[in-house]
Amino acid sequence: MKVQRVLVVGAGIGGLTAAAALAQRGVEVEVVEIRNDATVYGVGIIQPANALRALRSIGVLDEALAAGFRFSANIFYDWQGELIAECPSEFGPEVPSFNAVGRPDLHRILVSAAERAGAKITYGVTWETLDEGRSSVTVSLSNGVRADYDLVVGFDGLRSALRRRLFSDQHEPIFSGCAVWRVTMPRPPEVTDLLLFQGDRTKAGLVPLSDDLMYLLHVTPEEGNPRHEPGDFHRLLVDRLKGYAGIVGELRDALQQSHEIVYSPISEVWLPTPWYRGRVIVLGDAAHGCAPHLAQGAAMAVEDAVVLAEELESRRGVEDSLAAVMARRIDRVTLVQKVSQAIQVEEMAVTADVLPRVTAHMRAETPERLGRVEAMLNRPF
């Protein structure tokens, strides 16, 4: 490979996948992570088949499947628990349609893959300055180290400092008007697929994580992007789940103060092409953060990472390789962002008054519509 030394900024899902994929190809990879240790917070993450194929390419598919729970359908209900539509997945066939895994488990798997491949991960450190030359980038790190790299890759999230360095502050995250609440709970035996419940300008979901656990998600409008205190999360989530009957109502009534609830405002980033300047590129949420309504945000990040490694292996120059990454990624991530955004807008517009009419439309349209999107994402990335 022409690229021999790479700095990856951010030890999240995309950054660790990139570190593993590049190091497996003989690249010397250093990862810097501004957090002080490898501890991650979160509940669970859905891995669609395209994400599983990307993980297979770096050799961790079996580990991910062993740590998670496989399922094969999205099943839609109204908030009273009445069935709307069953949508068996079009993903496949060589990997499961979906695998849901605990966020800390996935992080552990990816850290291990990167380190096994020889990548070095340093916590509590980030970049301070970049000096770009014709054949390298000189980076000063916050720990006093100054070194040259053939390429710098930013997987540093929605509020990417590296994106701001390259493209100023014109592409900051835009709050969508909604947030998602998540909480891990014991899994009822009937939760063996992704169960989604349309409510009154809200949506709830149940995601199986293991034989014993699942997580409850709840998407709600949050006008003005308020900052809720963690001590209020239990009360606020219970209040927002009012009106839900059936299994969601039962789970709401079982919520305890001791349950760890994660509250995440939903923001989006769209960075116009190209996502690079010279020998510095940003990928994942830093370039195309999207609403979680297709469960494809992390999938797009791991695909970005694998495609980057493949194109750098082509032995073209850095500029041509990065241009090839853009050509392979732009249509795919644009599809995911637009469809995810459209789903959120549609769901948040449904009120209790129009729900009966909406459910009739969903019965007629949702299986085919979801199947079309999955068929496109099932194509090789």
In this predicted model, what pLDDT tens digit does every residue of 2-37 receive, in sequence order? Answer: 899 999 999 999 999 999 999 999 999 999 999 999
How confident is the model over 339-376, as pLDDT tens digits?
999 999 999 999 999 999 999 999 999 999 999 999 99
pLDDT reported for residue 314: 87
Cα distance between residue 52 and residue 47, in whole Å: 6
Q: What parts of the chain have a pLDDT lower than 70?
A: 92
> Domain locations in the chain?
5-172+268-377
Q: Hey, what are 173's tokens? A: 């995250």
pLDDT reported for residue 1: 72
Q: Is-contact 300 288, C-beta < 8 A?
A: yes
pLDDT reported for residue 316: 81
pLDDT reported for residue 92: 67
Can you say whether the dihedral through the CA atoms of 84, 336, 46, 229 is positive or negative?
negative
What predicted TM-score, i.e. pTM, was given to this entire model? 0.96
Beta bridge partners of residue 155, listed in sequence order: none
Using omega within 30 degrees of 0 as the cis cutoff, is the peptide bond preceding 93 cis?
yes
What is the topology classification, in CATH, of domain 5-172+268-377? Answer: FAD/NAD(P)-binding domain (3.50.50)
Can you say whether the dihedral through the CA atoms of 205, 249, 200, 361 is positive or negative?
positive
